[in-house]
């Protein structure tokens, strides 16, 4: 993909990218997730090392985990094989292959690696991969036919706020997202969606509302799981936008409010992404209790009373 002037500006603000071994995965984690309908499943996420995404989203910090060039053929199966060899039974029900890029971009995932990757996923009931909506198509259906489990594709919708969406540099039109969602639904494949909290160019007082609207939009188009992801600074571009007054880092209270307002969308699973949650501004006296409340609500999907904090109450009265 040819880089635009905006691409070059965003990339020019980035810090140095660390060098990564293309034959070694970044690591893996096991978590428990809520399924549509309320059941819990264990999920293994393997963070694969591969080519950088060709899109240059203004908010993205995943580029730092990628390679400068194409993923070498055979590297991803080797990474996944080593990760799975370390597992102890019983195996999780779901395997998530996250490569900080697009699974259906052949620079990131060579076509010749698909059969080997599919074979390695055979013990799992569900397989999740991540992709920009623009790369969802025949290659998606091909991989779905190769695997033994059910395919779920995780897609970043981010926001439907018109001005914010234009400034994300994501090159995603809502109509294209709709077509990708429709293709997955027509072929019995699942859709997981990422939605931003605190998108640049959204006023802080409107941030929660636009996050909820975007969640509702994704749910109407067939998403079965939706993750609320607070925008993180640290990639250079977000600091530039913050200095200009176009970005205000979201607060923990906003993440709580957004999740609470989305709980009535069941059976759609809406969860707060708690990766780096400690970076969110919050009251020091009740931060840990609020985070634990979010963890519980993520698993149960049931509303809970808000955290009672005298310090927060005192500040609100001032």
Handedness of CA 179, 259, 230, 104 (dihedral sign): negative
What letters, b where the CB count within 10 A reaches 16 and e where it falls short, cover 23-48?
eebbebeeeebbbeeeeeeebbbbbb
Give SS3 for 272.
strand
Low-confidence ranges of the chain (pLDDT < 50): 318
Instruction: Give dist(CA 236, CA 219) in Å, integer.
Output: 32
Half-sphere exposure (CA, 13 Å, Cβ side) for 178?
6
Location of structure tokens 């594709």: 153
Contact 267, 37 (CB under 8 A): yes
pLDDT score for 276: 94
User: What pLDDT shows up at residue 312?
Assistant: 86
Both structure tokens of 276: 């780096």
Q: Domain span at residue 234? A: 5-317
40-47 and 27-34 beta bridge pairing: antiparallel
H-run or E-run covering 257: helix 252-262
What was the pLDDT predicted at 317? 53
Question: Rounded to two decimals, what is the model's pTM?
Answer: 0.96
Round to whole Å and give the CA distance between 50 and 23: 9
The model's pLDDT over 133-189, given as tens digits with 9 standing for 90+, comes to 999 999 999 999 999 999 999 999 999 999 999 999 999 999 999 999 999 999 999
* Domains held by the chain: number: 1
Q: 307 with 290: CB under 8 angstroms?
A: yes
Where residue 41 sits, what CATH number does that domain have?
3.20.20.70
């Amino acid at each position: 993909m040819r880089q635009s002037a905006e691409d070059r500006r965003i990339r020019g603000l980035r810090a140095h990218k660390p060098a990564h071994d293309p034959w070694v995965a970044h690591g893996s984690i096991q978590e428990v997730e809520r399924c549509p309908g309320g059941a819990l499943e264990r999920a293994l996420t393997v963070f694969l090392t591969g080519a950088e995404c060709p899109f240059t989203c203004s908010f993205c910090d995943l580029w730092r985990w990628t390679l400068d060039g194409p993923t070498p053929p055979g590297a991803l199966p080797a990474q996944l094989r080593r990760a799975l060899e370390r597992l102890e039974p019983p195996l999780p029900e779901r395997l998530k292959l996250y490569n900080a890029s697009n699974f259906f971009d052949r620079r990131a995932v060579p076509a010749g690696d698909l059969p080997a990757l599919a074979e390695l996923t055979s013990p799992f009931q569900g397989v999740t991969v991540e992709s920009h909506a623009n790369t969802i198509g025949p290659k998606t259906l091909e991989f779905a036919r190769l695997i033994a489990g059910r395919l779920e594709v995780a897609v970043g919708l981010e926001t439907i706020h018109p001005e914010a969406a234009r400034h994300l540099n994501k090159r995603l039109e809502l109509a294209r997202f709709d077509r990708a969602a429709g293709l997955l639904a027509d072929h019995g494949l699942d859709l997981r969606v990422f939605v931003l909290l605190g998108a640049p160019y959204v006023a802080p007082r409107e941030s929660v509302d636009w996050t909820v609207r975007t969640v509702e939009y994704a749910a109407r188009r067939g998403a079965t799981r939706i993750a609320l992801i607070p925008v993180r600074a640290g990639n250079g571009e977000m600091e530039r936008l913050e200095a200009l007054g176009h970005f205000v880092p979201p607060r923990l209270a906003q993440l709580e409010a957004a999740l609470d307002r989305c709980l009535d969308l069941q059976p759609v699973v809406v969860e707060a992404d708690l990766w780096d949650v400690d970076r969110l501004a919050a009251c020091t006296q009740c931060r840990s209790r609020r985070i634990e409340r979010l963890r519980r609500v993520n698993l149960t999907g049931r509303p809970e009373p808000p955290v009672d904090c005298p310090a927060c109450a005192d500040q609100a009265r001032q």
